[in-house]
Structure 1
Amino acid sequence: MTLPVRFATDAEIANWDNLVIANPDHGSMYQAESFAIAKAIGGWTPRHLIFNEDNTEAAPRVAGLFIERTIPTLGKLWYSPTGPGFGSADQVAAIVPSLKEFAASNGVFLVKLESELIYSEQADQTLRSAGLVKVDNVQPISSTVMIDLTPDIDTILAEMPQKGRYAIRRAARDGVTVAEAPLTEENMRTMYTLLGATGDDAGFMIRTYDYYVSFWNEYANRDQGKMFFAYVDGDVVAGAYTGWMGFKAWYKDGASIRDRKAYGASHALQWHIIEWHKARGQAVSYDMMGCPPADQLKDPSHHLHGIGMFKTSLSPIVIDRVGTYDLIIDAKKTQKWNKFGYRIAGKLNRMFRKEVYF
């Protein structure tokens, strides 16, 4: 069965976030129009696609954001961050033939798909059987810690692991306070400095200041994001940016100082954000955005080990998703990209844009 795919109309793009929320997965912040605009700052061209016009149960209508880059001598590369938002592996498999034909007709040599479907051997086999190739995950969020926001706030705290509850209460005793941080130049610079220090300590590269400013402001201007700071004696000791769409909320960016006087500050910060989302009354889940896979949580050699320990002290719910798959349009060009192109492009991006490629 070949299912239709086309570019979205101007009217659909103007209503993009509502279309994304209506997807079977109920939307992702990386499929939002705010993300499209932020990625354009980094040199990507947004492409808004509409799948399955008839919108049947087997083939639901889905709005999928793809971002595009033209690779010299190879053509165009498409990547759908945490998308497209189908509800099953069978639905993703069903769009492969039409997407392959559509991408080829638009000069694309490789499409990277990154559905948020929950991992299972059956789902993985379904995607592979459709012709998709499992590759290294682009985003470090294919495994994540999830907090259920449907219980009342006292129940959420009571069901939190003991370490998290202790840190929250200890922070309160030690005078840690939390408040919303308006997106002023001073506050954004403070947050960026915290991110840089955390990145240096953890050994990962952060993006440019302009990228974060664009991201934070785009979501905030659409009432989809806020920044919060934790303080000790009036000094900022931790910061976090949270986003939301429809019934889903996320922990996007976070960082803290490495000072013991601020013990529990990051826990207090997250607890304040959880309380804020509960008071807002719309989100039913809070995605902590990234941790080691469930079977590697206790492996100290994993590069996300420390992050995983922090996040699982707030919730024991770890979800493994299927991650990233390649839809190869042109095998020879994809081979060149994988062997040489990605390495060269990544190096140039770090040199001149001062950030990671994707």
Structure 2
Amino acid sequence: MHSVLLLDKEELFNHYVSTHPCGDVLQTTWWGRLKSTSGWGYLPLGVMENGALQATALILIKRLPLNRTLLYSPRGPLYSNEDALLTLLHAGKDLAKKEKALVWKMDPAIARDDDQWMTFVEKQKLKQVDAGLDFDGVQPRFVMTLNLHSSLENLLKDMKSKTRYNIRYAKRQGVDVRSAKNKADLMVFYDLLQETALRDNFTIRPLSYFEAMWEYLVENQLAQLFLAYFEDIPLAGAIAFRLGKTVWYVYGASSNQKRNLQAPHLIQWEMIKWAKSRGCSVYDFRGVSGDLSPENPLYGLYRFKEGFGAQLREYVGEFDLPLSRGGYGLWQGGLALHNRIRNRKK
């Protein structure tokens, strides 16, 4: 068993990711290429045994002041057995030394009650990051997933009555959901996203980021843009990622116009149908708060996703592998200051 960088074998690396039960678009080299357009580097690290991959980690690299770096594996690492995971961790540490990294962050899509992972974390002295119950982590710890094994008829039947009504109402009123075929459609989505960000008070990435997403993900069948119209007026948009048997709802936006037509409900239903047509078995609505009290400002997001029949799922969360004692302390202090400033701006 040995580690290897697979820069010249990205297809092999991505195949392992796409067939792994916890595989995610964020662990493919296509995601690394996308992130390279916004200041990150990437390295596809793997562990081989008898000619077959047994573990992988897409490691994103961010340059920091004083010639130091941050390493991050979104929704990774992935592994087939604990020995391969241990080999991968040691290889990652060696790589981190060469990159002068302060920390290697990771947040695998592993269920909260996975004893193997938690035992490994304790043995290898990884530090669990307390990201709270809302969205303070890099990736959501709490997600809503919909099992797609049922027929479309039964999926619709299992939804909350209000959700089912809203879907049918939007269709009766003439809302039309289209799969975007041209990169120019990104501008329609981005206008909706800007409108949504202004209404709901959050910051968004520049248009160039979504243009890179189109180039690296949409054009490689890893993502799809959907737009909902009423009489050629764009009312809602959404971007879904797809890999293996899973589709993820990643970005959504809606207009201030004609909100009574329930376009966001119909666009979700059409994406669910699209996921089924592609042979997928899971539709992941992504993040919600872990605090399900009705008083929580994010409770409405949970109710919206629950209405489609989705179930709450909790992952193990976010972990740090400190690689420099003093440097890691400085990193934590700087991160805490950044979060305080960000929260004041909200």
Percent identity between the two aligned chains: 24
Matched residue, 1:356: none
Task: Please state how far the C-alpha of 1:345 moved relative to its aligned partner.
Answer: 11
- Contact 2:18 / 2:244 at 8 angstroms: preserved in 1? yes
Whether the 8 Å CA contact 2:45–2:56 is kept in 1: the answer is yes
Deviates more, 1:171-180 or 1:333-342: 333-342
- The AA in structure 1 aligned to 2:60 is I
**What code does the residue aligned with 1:34 have?**
W
Q: Relative to structure 1, is the Cα distance of residues 190 and 88 closer, same or farther in structure 2, using a 3 angstrom cutoff?
A: farther
Does the 8 A contact of 1:252 with 1:289 survive in 2?
Answer: yes
Quick one: distance in 1 between partners of 2:155 and 2:73?
A: 33
User: Which among 124, 127, 133 is matched to residue 130 of structure 1?
Assistant: 124
Counterparts of 2:69 and 2:340, CA distance in 1 = 16
Could you say which residue in structure 2 is the equivalent of 1:224?
Answer: 222
CA distance in 2, matches of 1:157, 1:28: 26
- Partner of 2:287, secondary structure, is coil
Comparing 236-245 with 224-233, greater Cα deviation is found at 224-233
How far does residue 88 in structure 1 lie from its aligned partner after superposition? 7.9
1:323 positional shift: 1.9
| 1:285 corresponding residue in structure 2 | 282
Match of 2:242, SS state, is: strand
Task: Name the CA shift for 1:105/1:298 in 2 (closer, same or farther; >3 Å).
Answer: same
From the superposition, tell whether residues 287 and 345 of structure 1 become closer, same or farther in structure 2 (CA, over 3 Å): closer
Alignment of 1:322-337 (within 5 A): 322-337=316-331
What is the Cα deviation at residue 333 of structure 1? 0.5
**TM superposition shift of 1:331:** 1.3
- The answer as to whether partners of 2:237 and 2:267 remain within 8 angstroms in 1 is yes
> 2:192 maps to which residue?
194
TM superposition shift of 1:343: 4.6
1:242-289 per-residue CA deviation (whole Å, 9 max, x = no partner) reads: 121121111121111234554321111111111122223x21111112
Q: Could you tell me which of 239, 242, 248 is aligned with 2:240?
A: 242
**CA shift for structure 1 position 97:** 4.2
**Paired position in structure 2 for 1:115:** 108
Gaps of 5+ in 1: 351-358
Q: Which amino acid aligns with 2:33?
A: I
CA distance in 1, matches of 2:83, 2:340: 33
1:61 matched residue in structure 2 = 54
Q: Sort the Cα spacing of 1:163 and 1:55 in 2 relative to 1 into closer, same or farther, 3 A.
A: farther
Using the size of structure 1 for normalisation, the TM-score is: 0.84
- Give 3-state SS (helix, strand or coil) of 2:108's partner: coil
Kindly report which structure 2 residues correspond to 1:145-224, keeping only aligned pairs within 5 A, or say none: 145-185=144-184, 187-224=185-222
Give the match for residue 298 of structure 1. 293
Q: Of the candidates 18, 21, 29, which is equivalent to residue 18 of structure 2? A: 21
Distance across 2 between alignment mates of 1:248 and 1:338 = 34
Instruction: For residue 19 of structure 1, report the CA deviation from its aligned partner.
Output: 2.6
CA distance in structure 2 between the aligned counterparts of 1:316 and 1:193, rounded to whole angstroms: 29
Q: Which SS does the other structure have where 1:73 is aligned?
A: helix
Is 1:6 paired with 2:30? no
Amino acid at match of 1:189: M
- TM-score after normalising by structure 2: 0.87
- The 3 A distance-change label for structure 1 pair 146 and 171 is same
Where do 5+ consecutive residues of structure 2 fail to align? none
User: Bigger CA drift: 309-318 or 237-246?
Assistant: 309-318
Name the Cα RMSD after superposition.
2.8
Q: Judging changes above 3 Å, is the alpha-carbon distance between structure 1 residues 167 and 291 closer, same or farther for their aligned structure 2 residues?
A: same
Residue 30 (structure 1) aligned with residue 29 (structure 2): no
Residue identity in the other structure for 1:112: K
State the alpha-carbon separation in 2 of the partners of residues 54 and 184 from structure 1.
Answer: 43
2:39 alignment partner in structure 1? 43
Distance in 1 of aligned mates of 2:235 and 2:187? 14
For 1:84 and 1:197, the matched residues in 2 are separated by 36
Answer yes or no: is the 8 Å Cα contact 2:57–2:77 preserved in 1.
Answer: yes
> Which residue of 258, 272, 275 maps to 1:274?
272
